Structure 1
Amino acid sequence: MGPFEIAAIAIVCGCAVSGYKTYMEGKAKHNNEDVSALQNEIAKLKNRVATLESIVTEPSYQLKEKINKL
């Protein structure tokens, strides 16, 4: 193996490592955005569940259910 072949292999490996690092950084950024979006959606759903729980536990709602069963 001559010096030119070693230099070519070093250049190709350097480009491959650089490309891999760029790919992983982009993938990590995309994953962080997905996690953030999912966390926002979970927060909204928790608020909706809390609202529904407050409606169902109201005495007037329970009274209506008892009346409807009669």
Structure 2
Amino acid sequence: MSKVKSAPMVHEAVGYDTDNPIEGSKRFMSVDTLGVALRVLVPAASVGERKGGRRVLQRTRQMGQAVT
């Protein structure tokens, strides 16, 4: 998970992370054993680590047999 500060002209879903004073978005990734990205999720910064982690893992699981 990493945090990205939003640009002033961005009007999409951005949030504020209370643990770290950054207004913007977070990035959650699932990767394979070689480090190749399988899924990337970019929600608002207000989405918690547990919730974002669960969401990216659920979406990876939905890929089905492509990920074994």
- The answer to whether the superposition gives a TM-score over 0.5 is no
TM-score tier (shorter): under 0.3
Q: Which has the higher helix share?
A: 1
